[in-house]
Amino acid sequence: MLTQLANKRGYVEMIFIGIVILFAALILGIPVCYAFLASAMFFVIMGDVNPSFMIPYGIDKISTTVLFAIPLFVIAGGLMEKGNIADKMIGLVENFVGRIRGGLGIITTVSCAIFGSVTGSACATLTCIGSIMFPRFERANYPKGHCAALLASTAVLGMLIPPSSIMILYSWTGGQSVLASFLATIIPGIILTTLLAVLNCYMLRNNKNIIVVSDKDIEDKEKDFYRVVPKQRKKFSFFHTKFGEAVPALFMPVIVLGGIYSGIMTPTEAAGVSVIYALPVGMYIYKGLTVRGLYNTMIEAVTATGAIMIMLFACSVLSRIYIMEDVPQLLLKILYSISTNKYVILFMLNIFMIVLGMLMDDCSACVLATPILIPIIQEIGVNPVHFAAIVAVNLGLGNITPPCAPLLYLSSSISKAPINEMLRPTLCFIVFGWIPVLIVTTYVPALSLFLPRLILGVN
């Protein structure tokens, strides 16, 4: 077995080589699942780990019903995009903040938080909201680099605003309550959403090139509305019409979140209900979803689900090997050799998770890190529910932190904005938005534990 061989060649050296293989493969751009499998194969070949034991374990891990929620939320996100549901939400928010300089940025932030919470995918959120908002930004003369940086920074808000796929994976791998993990991220998510919206307005406060919607524009729209609607509807203003149009779209997150938090539905059931609800709303109420669009959505969901499941299988196998070889205790000894202070160890874990988020996608990083780090944080007295919020903020920050920053490059590709124009606003959002929230989330446990204690009685 591996431990016997490691005793001869050096236990620490074996673990170190396996980890180096993993990170080297990721840096070279090898797909995440293959990088995990490469590291696992090293232990199988050099350490004589029996693959006949690991393969059934990986298949058993990905067969849980909790993971059914992920493809269902992916489908729901696709239906929201193609059924114009997201567009109606954006139209409603625009009525509130359209006349503020930087108002489109507020719309983007709030829309990403709502849409991302349903889809659970930062890439899907960036693609959908970006395709809607970038033309509006361009018409209003917003700086291209600022808009692309804002969208990249807000697309990951779905990790914090439940229901979140990352929290489902965290609960699955860490053996925690899904609802408790959802509740832990709500307050940090709201704080971060508010901070990013305020930062956006502050950064654009002196930009005179931005075209702001005036009261006269709203009045002109009202006049056009009055000319085309029947007399019995003239008593309604343009705003109320926008609100009325958005009501079916707004019911979707209300039904999903209300069902989960009331205990009526599990997250998996809520994901199924969101698909059932989005289908007729997008097809018959907003008339944006076609049979072809539904077909494309299903194909995209199946493709994404297949990729996610392969990745989860590889992560589960590698994580199991690390746990069997007591890697958490090895890491804890290394951390204790640097400092025994709980807050210093949390600081080092934050750095580790940010780097992990820079190198791989959020799902992979969560599945790999959670089973390894939970024994460590329990050893130093950190509540695993509190740690759920720490993981979500760290991985979100890692996804937008240069030089890797996968979401920055995706946003640049969609918006056609040069990366160099995005760096300054991105750093502003990181330094004055993400990092303060990470510090507060890490070192003020009451922030994350307030709702789980209030609703679920978590200790």
At residue 437, the pLDDT reads 95
Lowest mean pLDDT among 224-238, 296-310, 358-372: 224-238
- For 244-300, the pLDDT digits (tens) are 777 888 888 788 878 877 778 887 888 888 889 989 988 888 888 888 988 988 888
d(CA 79, CA 73): 10
Helices (H) and strands (E) in the chain, counts: 23, 0
Phi, psi of 394 (to 5 degrees): -65, -45
d(CA 134, CA 291): 27
pTM: 0.80
The answer on pLDDT for 389 being more than 90 is: yes
The answer on pLDDT for 65 being more than 80 is: no
At residue 189, the pLDDT reads 92
Q: Please state, for a pLDDT cut of 90, what percent of the chain lies above it.
A: 16
Distances (CA, A) of 263 to 40, 167, 230, 249: 39, 17, 43, 22
The arithmetic mean of pLDDT across residues 81-106, rounded, is 77
Distances (CA, A) of 230 to 219, 220, 225, 233, 450: 18, 18, 10, 6, 50
Q: Which of 17-21, 115-119, 152-156, 261-265 has the highest mean pLDDT?
A: 152-156
Smallest CA-to-CA distance from 358 within 27, 102, 6 is with 27
DSSP 24-91: HHHHTT--HHHHHHHHHHHHHHHH---HHHHHHHHHHHTT-GGGGHHHHHHHHHHHHHHTTHHHHHHH
Residue type at 413 in one-letter notation: S
- For residues 123 and 98, the model is more confident at 123
Lowest mean pLDDT among 34-38, 77-81, 152-156, 239-243: 239-243
At residue 213, the pLDDT reads 61
Residue that has been written with the tokens 């625009």 in this structure: 94
At residue 15, the pLDDT reads 76
The arithmetic mean of pLDDT across residues 378-394, rounded, is 92
Phi, psi of 92 (to 5 degrees): -70, -50
The answer on pLDDT for 200 being more than 70 is: yes
Residue that has been written with the tokens 């090898």 in this structure: 30
Residues in the chain: 459
* pLDDT band, residue 18 (cuts 50/70/90): confident
Tell me the pLDDT of the chain averaged across its residues.
Answer: 80
d(CA 425, CA 4): 52
At residue 236, the pLDDT reads 44
- Encoded tokens for 158: 């779905």
* pLDDT band, residue 301 (cuts 50/70/90): confident
CB atoms within 10 A of CB 262: 8
- For 395-406, the pLDDT digits (tens) are 889 888 876 777
Lowest mean pLDDT among 96-105, 201-210, 310-319, 395-404: 96-105
Lowest mean pLDDT among 182-191, 210-219, 375-384: 210-219
- For residues 413 and 121, the model is more confident at 413
d(CA 200, CA 102): 6
